[in-house]
Amino acid sequence: MHRRGRTRVGGDISLAFQGGEPTLAGLEFFRLATRLARRLAPGQTVRWSLQTNGLLLDDEWCRFLAEERFLVGWSLDGPARLHDAYRRDRQGRGSHKVVVGALRPMQQHGVEVNVLVAVHAENTAYPLEVYHHLRGLGARHLQFIPVVEREASGPEQALGLRLGAPESAGRRRTPWSVPPEAYGEFLVRVFDE
């Protein structure tokens, strides 16, 4: 089908915003993106997703996310002592309380939420505590992502980098990375529960 010189391609369109903190672009950016998508892809379904820690989400944001049917990947690594091990603000304070506070407005507005759990050295020994904490918050969809990072060496260190390319053989895993066996055991225990 041709419209104004454009060919319509069938199927859905998926647009995902992640990396860093996408909500820093501001709500007006996302409003413009959804308007443009409707104009440039008439008749097609656009599936939106956003990965965030939720710190900037207020009622206005949540209304928008619900209206536009965004799937929100929300980062939370378990109860405060486990989440806060690596998720701290600029003053060094744990972010658990604020991050959990962002869930309530999303739930109240009916935003679809997928919890993204970074499995790391601190929470890997507590799979059921992590699982029950998240379920207690009302989480229905959980995604467990292994943290595996390698220390920098050679030229990377000379540039002042702390982390090296993950595929580099022979580099030591960082102390906060999850060993493969521990990650597997974490998943098995959650699945069995």
Give the domain ranges of the chain: 12-192
pLDDT at res. 136: 95
pLDDT band at 43 (very low <50, low <70, confident <90, very high): confident
Which DSSP string corresponds to 117-168?
EEE-TTTTT-HHHHHHHHHHTT--EEEEEE---EE--THHHHTT-SEE-TT-
Specify the fold of 12-192.
TIM Barrel (3.20.20)
User: Is-contact 110 54, C-beta < 8 A?
Assistant: no
Position 38, amino acid: R
pLDDT tens digits, 44-69: 889 999 999 888 999 999 999 999 99
Residue 168: what pLDDT? 62
What backbone torsions phi and psi does residue 54 show, to the nearest 5 degrees?
85, 0
pLDDT at 1: 39
CA-CA-CA-CA torsion sign (131, 21, 106, 48): negative
**What predicted TM-score, i.e. pTM, was given to this entire model?**
0.81
